[in-house]
Amino acid sequence: MVRYLITGGAGFIGSHLAERLLHHRGQVHVIDDLSTGAIRNIEHLKSLKGFGYTIDDIRNAPVLAELVDGADVVVHLAAAVGVQLIVESPVRTIETNVAGTEAVLTAAAKKRKKVIIASTSEVYGKSAQVPFRETSDLVLGATTYGRWSYACSKAIDEFLALAYWREKKLPVVIVRLFNTVGPRQVGHYGMVVPRFVKQALAGGPITVYGDGKQTRCFCDVADVVEAVERLAGEDRAVGEIFNIGSGEEVSVEDLARRVAAKVDPRIPLKYVPYDEAYAVGFEDMRRRVPDVSKVRALIGWTPRTPLDQILDRVIEYHRAEG
Ligand code: UDP
């Protein structure tokens, strides 16, 4: 039986991963400071055999050391995420992401425990070389634009993890998660799908930022956690970076229309300039599309869930939540 420690395990992706690993008879311990995660995300797991949790900051070194001791694999998901949160709280973003990952790698290195580091498609920045490959250049904007601090903090995490692998032979795997969606994701930090769904269920309008022609690919969280679990168990993945995401590209405007069509076609769209939505001079990427041939070649993973089905599930979830 594999024992997993999931940092940020009470968050959206972490709670889905915990559920999957427990279902596959893994033992799962979650550490989360509940800054963006929530106890209700793991409430249904509390009574399951093999599950445990600690509410604390991963920078609490003695606590983290003990939890790492009791694990075979650490999946590091704890981070400040969400473009809106990042633009509003850059200090928190940079400190959480850099110091948090450093704490996890330091603790894991002492006991030589495997670490899966969650990175993000945000690291590709505003590169126009789509689809993005793991070897592609990262193209970030000026440091005066707070948004890029997120990409930069996660890029540092990647550099540090790879350095631990090369210098200290600490087994690490880096997963660059593209836009991930599903039940339990909240819209407070900017994530577009839960925001659109909640706006639609409230009768609109749906707020489309910019001209709405920017594109994203949305991957179902169930597909994403499948890839994470399989890569965690794959020796050939060590020391490598993998894109995890969907190839179904959709414009934000089209996404808004599709959500409206499913809830009530009369719901209006409202176009909001970026400066108003985020901050003056905000930069967005026009297209974000992953090349997932590397993960496909290694473990045969491809995303399974079409966007239509993802949207139906998210709408159903928010309806049930009221
Ligand atoms: N977006 C939007 N309306 C919203 C929230 C987001 O049009 O209410 C846009 C946002 O500007 C971006 C896209 O949707 O172009 C995806 O945003 P999200 O924050 O979900 O993820 P990102 O891809 O930016 O990390």
Give 87's pLDDT tier (boundaries 50, 70, 90): confident
User: Is residue 95 in some structural domain?
Assistant: yes
Distance 217 CA to ligand 1 centre (A): 11
318 φ, ψ (degrees, to nearest 5): -70, -30
Q: Which of 231, 32, 238, 5 is nearest to 107 (CA)?
A: 5
What pLDDT, on a 0 to 100 scale, did the predictor assign at position 282?
A: 87
CATH number at residue 16: 3.40.50.720
Q: Would the pLDDT of 122 be above 90?
A: yes
User: Is residue 135 in some structural domain?
Assistant: yes
User: Of residues 247 and 281, which shows the higher confidence score?
Assistant: 247
User: Is residue 257 in some structural domain?
Assistant: no
Q: Would the pLDDT of 136 be above 90?
A: yes
Structure tokens that stand for 210 in this block: 């910019």
What mean pLDDT do residues 8-15 have?
A: 98
How many domains, in total, are found in the chain? 1
Q: Would the pLDDT of 142 be above 90?
A: yes
**Ligand 1 atom nearest residue 195's Cα:** 8
* 164 in catalytic set: no
What pLDDT, on a 0 to 100 scale, did the predictor assign at position 190?
A: 85
What mean pLDDT do residues 285-310 have?
A: 98
- Residue 48 sits in which domain range? 3-178+220-244+288-303
Q: Would the pLDDT of 86 be above 90?
A: no
Counting residues of the chain whose pLDDT is more than 90, the rounded percentage is: 91
User: Is residue 279 in some structural domain?
Assistant: no
Does the pTM surpass 0.75? The reply is yes
**Does 267 sit in the ligand 1 pocket, CB within 6 Å?**
no
User: Is residue 18 in some structural domain?
Assistant: yes
- Tell me which of 179, 180, 209 to substitute to probe ligand 1's pocket, judged by most ligand atoms within 8 Å of the beta carbon: 209
User: Is residue 98 in some structural domain?
Assistant: yes
User: What angle, 0 to 180 degrees and rounded to 10, lies between the N-to-C axes of helices 12-23 and 221-232?
Assistant: 60
User: Is residue 30 in some structural domain?
Assistant: yes
What pLDDT, on a 0 to 100 scale, did the predictor assign at position 188?
A: 85
Question: In angstroms, rounded to a whole number, what is the distance separating the alpha carbons of residues 76 and 82?
Answer: 17
What pLDDT, on a 0 to 100 scale, did the predictor assign at position 44?
A: 97
What pLDDT, on a 0 to 100 scale, did the predictor assign at position 109?
A: 98
What pLDDT, on a 0 to 100 scale, did the predictor assign at position 81?
A: 86
Q: Would the pLDDT of 322 be above 90?
A: no
Extract long-range pairs of 130-137: CB within 8 Å, 24+ residues apart. 130/287, 130/288, 130/289, 131/247, 131/289, 131/290, 131/291, 132/243, 132/288, 132/289, 132/290, 132/291, 133/243, 133/291, 133/293, 133/294, 134/176, 134/240, 134/241, 134/242, 134/243, 134/291, 134/294
**Ligand 1 atom nearest residue 209's Cα:** 7
Catalytic pick among 150, 189, 209, 278: 150
User: Is residue 105 in some structural domain?
Assistant: yes
**Does 310 sit in the ligand 1 pocket, CB within 6 Å?**
no
9, amino acid identity: G
- Tell me which of 127, 252, 274, 283 to substitute to probe ligand 1's pocket, judged by most ligand atoms within 8 Å of the beta carbon: 252
